[in-house]
């Protein structure tokens, strides 16, 4: 159980240890942005294509530069601030970002210091909120944290003033250089630009984001925009056009991370408000009746689910947007080109049952590579419309039969065999062979669906089902009986794993249940139901009172269960890294999926600390099982066959695979070897990333657990690569079958029905489903 101390410590570990090195990882904030999707653009008719569009390019930044903000200066140049190899610095460009010259470094500010907020003043200088911890670089609680307001001039001279209300404060400069502050304690205020002291209070209302245009203060609340006169503090009447543009599609601007926001705002040379969101770039004259969409987010990197906004500037009607994307920052330039069609002339339809961040990001980058193609990514189940898996599949299959199916089908949670037997999928052999010839391909994974020389589907990524922990114990794991033997020993299996055992083992076992006619093998199913039930029963019989209370807590929804987490992330809910600290308390063995080298580094770090932690492939009803992610197929009826092939090829390319290194291992060998052997996580032999937790032991005592990640040895990395080359059986993750079986298994585990009734009910439901 994690306490308040755990929360604070985790926050500070991330801020003080990771951000000091200039590495900012964007987290689950992408879920907040998922509602900000733009309307599908109408495609241009080829014979009468309207011409002219803003095209995106990435500005080359100085070496090792990590951007925090950008402005247009009064001299008509661009100025940005961030960190370079020497610390915090400002750079200028007077040629639109082609070249950069270092203007100044910040005096008396170390590169090891971390600014919670850092912004530039368009008329010169800037300000920030500097976070300082205890002498050892960490902080045990908020009481150990010190915040200072730091102002600096154009030459980098700084002035530091202690600030009590700095954590969580958002700073913004107006175009005329007035400083605004948003604090969840004191509301919105005009601040002194040198000391950060409150000059006047605009409102004490709680809002999510602050901006400025001219003499107006713009406050973005949960569902509406508030306008105030910056001088008088009086409210200004509603701007209907802007309000509707910002909130018509359910936009949310709540800040859920210390780095980056859901919107960036600035003024252009003529005083118009310009802003960027995942929907694109927009321009508006305050009080006017029109909000113009200058750049469609769907046709740019702005719609990437990993993107957060750092700052924005407009110069000569070119737009410059600074963004954070994963562990990197980028400066994107949007420049008008009159010689390209205003909208792409090809539409590539991509479909998946659920939203996939990897597919969404690939679509964005693919469009950047192929500007004449618009990728229309369609989701079968949004989670908000009450559509079930069966409903979504029925609609999809009806569309396919009517000739209105997608071009590319992401087959995750679908039955690949069903579409193969109906002859609906094209052969992807040539694409895989091309990747094999250029970068190499992990054939044991990429060709797993191959039959009779035809390759109808290929996974872009994969995870591995593993048992991790005590080497002797995990070496004995083979079948249900061995797991029941571990369950009988107190302190060996984690309670969460036992409660989630059906879900975890389903992934290993389900592929062994199919007969040749695709019906369920009742004998194999019976072995699974009875095996999981035995493990749960034996664990309960040998559990302490505290452990029984914890089991009841999971079953009654007090603690998050696999099912709850699966709703949030269907492929990563059993990631081995989620409960890795269990192996430092009273747990000897953990089961789950291994999806990244970072997760593996955690296991190796435990081994270096305890000398008793290894990982091996899990073997129960099947051996050498992997989890296929982003399984791609092209329909034979695809209207855009060539673009579909280009999309699949891009997803398998080195560039495409490296975009999601934490969401499964790559099937591209060049990318896989880069993921495994190249340390891009900022950890080394001395650590660099620490996780910690506070847990209550069997005696009811609070104990602190901490793990510093250390990069694995070459021998350990070789062992990981060998596991990747060993897996050869794709887990059956077809969702309808999964839901039927897990539902009845849960009823059995809860004592509502017996094992035989659960098995018979499953057989009846599955036979009925297969007969449809």
Among 228, 229, 286, 218, which residue's Cα sits nearest to residue 253? 218
Q: Give residue 19's pLDDT band: very low, low, confident or very high (50, 70, 90).
A: very low
Beta strands 225-229; 216-220: pairing state: antiparallel
Residue 326 is part of a domain; what is its CATH number?
Answer: 2.120.10.30
Is it the case that residue 14 has pLDDT exceeding 80?
Answer: no
Q: How far apart are CA 115 and CA 141, in angstroms?
A: 18
Q: How far apart are CA 78 and CA 384, in angstroms?
A: 43
* pLDDT for the residue numbered 142: 46
Q: How far apart are CA 612 and CA 603, in angstroms?
A: 10
Q: How far apart are CA 419 and CA 322, in angstroms?
A: 43
> Using one digit for the tens of pLDDT, what is the confidence trace for 680-704?
877 776 666 788 776 666 566 667 8
DSSP 42: P
Q: Is 692 helix (H, G, I), strand (E, B) or coil?
A: strand
Q: How far apart are CA 54 and CA 342, in angstroms?
A: 8
What's the whole-number average pLDDT of the chain? 86
* pLDDT for the residue numbered 680: 80
**CB atoms inside a 10 Å sphere around CB 467:** 26
* pLDDT for the residue numbered 49: 67
- Report how far apart, in Å, the C-alpha atoms of 385 and of each of 351, 380, 382, 406, 587 are: 17, 10, 6, 21, 40
Residue 43 lies in a domain: yes
Q: How far apart are CA 270 and CA 286, in angstroms?
A: 12
Q: Give residue 623's pLDDT band: very low, low, confident or very high (50, 70, 90).
A: very high
Mean pLDDT within 225-234? 94
- % the chain with pLDDT above 90: 64
* pLDDT for the residue numbered 545: 84
Q: How far apart are CA 225 and CA 234, in angstroms?
A: 15
Q: How far apart are CA 394 and CA 381, in angstroms?
A: 12
Q: Is 500 helix (H, G, I), strand (E, B) or coil?
A: coil
**Per-residue b or e along 224-262, where b marks 16 or more CB atoms closer than 10 Å to that residue's CB:** ebbbbebeeeeebeebebbbebbbeeebbbebbbbbbbb
Q: What own/partner pairs with CB < 8 Å and gap ≥ 24 does 265-269 have?
A: 265/172, 265/211, 265/212, 265/213, 265/218, 265/312, 266/71, 266/72, 266/175, 266/311, 266/312, 266/313, 266/314, 267/175, 267/213, 267/214, 267/314, 268/314, 268/317, 269/72, 269/314, 269/315, 269/316, 269/317
Q: How far apart are CA 505 and CA 494, in angstroms?
A: 15
Q: Which of 65-74, 426-435, 604-613 has the lowest mean pLDDT?
A: 604-613
Mean pLDDT within 731-753? 94
Q: Which of 92-106, 609-623, 652-666 has the lowest mean pLDDT?
A: 652-666
Q: How far apart are CA 302 and CA 307, in angstroms?
A: 7
Among 657, 483, 494, 475, which residue's Cα sits nearest to residue 590? 494
Is it the case that residue 568 has pLDDT exceeding 50?
Answer: no
Q: Would you call 629 exposed, middle or buried from its count of C-beta atoms within 10 A (0-12, 13-18, 19+)?
A: buried
Q: Give residue 595's pLDDT band: very low, low, confident or very high (50, 70, 90).
A: very high
Q: Element (H or E) spanning 728, and its range?
A: none
Contact 141, 153 (CB under 8 A): no
Q: Which of 16-30, 349-363, 435-449 has the lowest mean pLDDT?
A: 16-30
Residue 55 lies in a domain: yes
CA atoms within 13 A on the CB side of 322: 26
Residue 759 lies in a domain: no
Residue 624 lies in a domain: no
Q: Give the position of tokens 């990981």.
A: 720
Is it the case that residue 586 has pLDDT exceeding 70?
Answer: yes
Residue 546 lies in a domain: no
**pTM of the entire predicted model:** 0.78
Mean pLDDT within 77-91? 93
Among 637, 732, 729, 629, which residue's Cα sits nearest to residue 415? 732
Is it the case that residue 645 has pLDDT exceeding 90?
Answer: yes
Both structure tokens of 546: 């505290």
Beta strands 665-666; 235-236: pairing state: unpaired
Mean pLDDT within 229-237? 93
Residue 213 lies in a domain: yes
Q: Give residue 569's pLDDT band: very low, low, confident or very high (50, 70, 90).
A: very low
> Using one digit for the tens of pLDDT, what is the confidence trace for 261-297?
999 999 999 999 999 999 999 999 999 999 999 999 9
Q: How far apart are CA 753 and CA 747, in angstroms?
A: 6
Convert 518-541 into a string of H (helix), E (strand) and C (coil): CCECHHHHHHHHHHHHHHHHHHHH
Task: Write the DSSP assignment of 190-251 as a string of letters.
Answer: EE-TTT--EEEEEE----SEEEEETTEEEEE-SS-EEEEETTT--EE---HHHHHHHHTT--
> Using one digit for the tens of pLDDT, what is the confidence trace for 450-469?
999 999 999 999 999 999 99
* pLDDT for the residue numbered 597: 93
> Using one digit for the tens of pLDDT, what is the confidence trace for 501-534?
999 999 999 999 988 888 899 999 999 999 999 9
Residue 246 lies in a domain: yes
Q: Give the position of tokens 């099937």.
A: 667
Q: Is 330 helix (H, G, I), strand (E, B) or coil?
A: strand
Residues near 694 by beta carbon (within 8 Å), at least 6 away in sequence: 1, 2, 3, 5, 6, 9, 702, 703, 704, 705
Sort residue 592 into left (φ over 0), alpha (ψ -120 to 50) or beta: left
Q: Which of 66-75, 168-177, 252-261, 323-332 has the lowest mean pLDDT?
A: 252-261
Q: Positive or negative, the Cα torsion across 249, 250, 251, 256?
A: negative
* pLDDT for the residue numbered 38: 38
What is the extent of the structural domain holding 51? 4-343
* pLDDT for the residue numbered 341: 84
Task: Write the DSSP assignment of 600-659 as a string of letters.
Answer: HHHHHHHHHHHS--EEEE--SSSSSEEEEEEEEEEBTT-S-HHHHHHHHHHHHSHHHHGG
Q: Would you call 697 exposed, middle or buried from its count of C-beta atoms within 10 A (0-12, 13-18, 19+)?
A: exposed
Q: Positive or negative, the Cα torsion across 247, 367, 457, 637?
A: positive
- In the chain, the number of structural domains is 1
Residue 261 lies in a domain: yes
Q: Cα 61–52–94 angle (5° rounding)? A: 30
Both structure tokens of 542: 């040998």
Q: Give residue 145's pLDDT band: very low, low, confident or very high (50, 70, 90).
A: low
Q: Would you call 694 exposed, middle or buried from its count of C-beta atoms within 10 A (0-12, 13-18, 19+)?
A: middle
Contact 92, 43 (CB under 8 A): no
Q: Give residue 123's pLDDT band: very low, low, confident or very high (50, 70, 90).
A: very high
């Amino acid at each position: 159980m994690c306490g308040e101390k755990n929360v604070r410590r985790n926050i500070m570990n991330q801020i003080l240890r990771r951000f000091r090195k200039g590495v900012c990882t964007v987290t689950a904030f992408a879920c907040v942005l998922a509602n900000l999707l733009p309307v599908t653009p109408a495609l241009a008719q080829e014979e009468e294509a309207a011409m002219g569009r803003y095209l995106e390019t990435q500005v080359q930044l100085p070496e090792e530069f990590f951007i925090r903000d950008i402005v247009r200066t009064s001299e008509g140049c661009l100025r940005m601030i961030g960190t370079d190899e020497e610390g915090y610095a400002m750079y200028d460009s007077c040629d639109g970002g082609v070249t950069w010259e270092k203007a100044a470094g910040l005096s008396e500010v170390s590169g090891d210091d971390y600014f919670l907020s850092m912004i530039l003043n368009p008329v010169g200088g800037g300000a920030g909120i500097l976070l300082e911890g205890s002498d050892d670089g960490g902080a045990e609680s908020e009481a150990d944290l010190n915040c200072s307001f730091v102002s600096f001039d154009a030459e980098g001279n700084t002035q530091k003033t202690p600030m009590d209300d700095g954590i969580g404060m958002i700073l913004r400069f107006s175009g005329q250089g007035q400083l605004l502050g948003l604090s969840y304690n004191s509301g919105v205020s005009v601040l002194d630009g040198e000391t950060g002291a409150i000059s006047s209070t605009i409102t004490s209302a709680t809002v999510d984001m602050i901006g400025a245009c001219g003499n107006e203060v713009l406050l973005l609340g949960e569902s509406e925009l508030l306008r105030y006169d910056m001088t008088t503090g009086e409210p200004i009447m509603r701007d209907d056009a802007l309000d509707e543009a910002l909130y018509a599609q359910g936009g949310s601007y709540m800040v859920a991370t210390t780095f980056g926001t859901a919107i960036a705002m600035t003024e252009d040379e003529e005083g118009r408000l310009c802003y960027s969101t995942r929907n694109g770039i927009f321009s508006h004259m305050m009080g006017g009746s029109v909000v113009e969409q200058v750049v469609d987010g769907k046709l740019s990197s702005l719609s990437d689910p990993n993107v957060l906004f750092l700052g924005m500037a407009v110069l000569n009607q070119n737009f410059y947007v600074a963004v954070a994307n994963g562990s990197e920052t980028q400066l994107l330039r949007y420049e008008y080109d009159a010689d390209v069609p205003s909208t792409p002339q090809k539409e590539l339809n991509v479909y998946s049952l659920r939203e996939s961040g990897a597919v969404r990001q690939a679509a964005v980058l693919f469009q950047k590579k192929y500007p004449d193609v618009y990728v229309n990514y369609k989701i079968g189940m949004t989670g908000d419309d009450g559509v079930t898996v069966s409903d979504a599949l029925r609609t999809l299959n009806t569309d396919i039969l009517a000739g209105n199916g997608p071009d590319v089908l992401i087959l995750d949670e679908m039955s690949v065999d069903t579409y193969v037997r109906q002859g609906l999928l094209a052969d992807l052999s040539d694409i895989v062979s091309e990747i094999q010839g250029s970068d190499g391909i992990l054939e044991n994974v990429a060709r797993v669906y191959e039959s009779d020389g035809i390759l109808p589907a290929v996974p872009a990524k994969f995870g591995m089902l593993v048992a991790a922990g005590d080497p002797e114990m995990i070496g004995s794991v083979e079948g249900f009986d061995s797991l029941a033997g571990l369950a009988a020993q107190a302190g060996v299996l984690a309670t969460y794993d036992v409660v989630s055992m059906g879900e975890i083992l389903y992934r290993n076992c389900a592929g062994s249940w199919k007969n040749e006619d695709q019906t369920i093998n009742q004998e194999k199913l019976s072995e699974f139901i009875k095996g999981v039930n035995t493990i749960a029963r034996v664990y309960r019989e040998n559990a302490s009172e505290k452990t029984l209370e914890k089991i009841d807590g999971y079953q009654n929804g007090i603690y998050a269960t696999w099912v709850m987490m699966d709703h949030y992330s269907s492929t990563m809910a059993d990631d081995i890294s989620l409960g890795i600290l269990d192996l430092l308390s009273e747990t000897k063995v953990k089961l789950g999926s291994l999806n990244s080298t970072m997760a593996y580094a955690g296991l190796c770090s435990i081994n270096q600390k305890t000398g008793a932690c290894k990982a091996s492939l899990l073997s129960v009803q099947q051996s050498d099982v992997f989890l296929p992610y982003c399984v791609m197929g092209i329909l034979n009826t695809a209207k855009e066959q060539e673009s579909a092939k280009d999309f699949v090829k891009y997803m398998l390319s080195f560039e495409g695979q490296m975009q999601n290194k934490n969401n499964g291992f790559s099937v591209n060998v060049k990318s896989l070897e880069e993921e495994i052997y190249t340390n891009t996580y900022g950890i080394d032999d001395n650590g660099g990333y620490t996780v910690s937790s506070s847990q209550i032991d069997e005696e009811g005592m609070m104990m602190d657990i901490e793990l510093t990640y250390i990069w694995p040895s070459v021998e350990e990395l070789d062992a990981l690569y060998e596991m990747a080359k060993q897996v050869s059986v794709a887990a059956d993750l077809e969702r309808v079958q999964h839901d039927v079986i897990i539902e009845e298994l849960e009823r059995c585990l809860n004592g509502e029905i017996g094992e035989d009734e659960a098995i018979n009910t499953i057989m009846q439901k599955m036979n009925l489903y297969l007969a449809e």
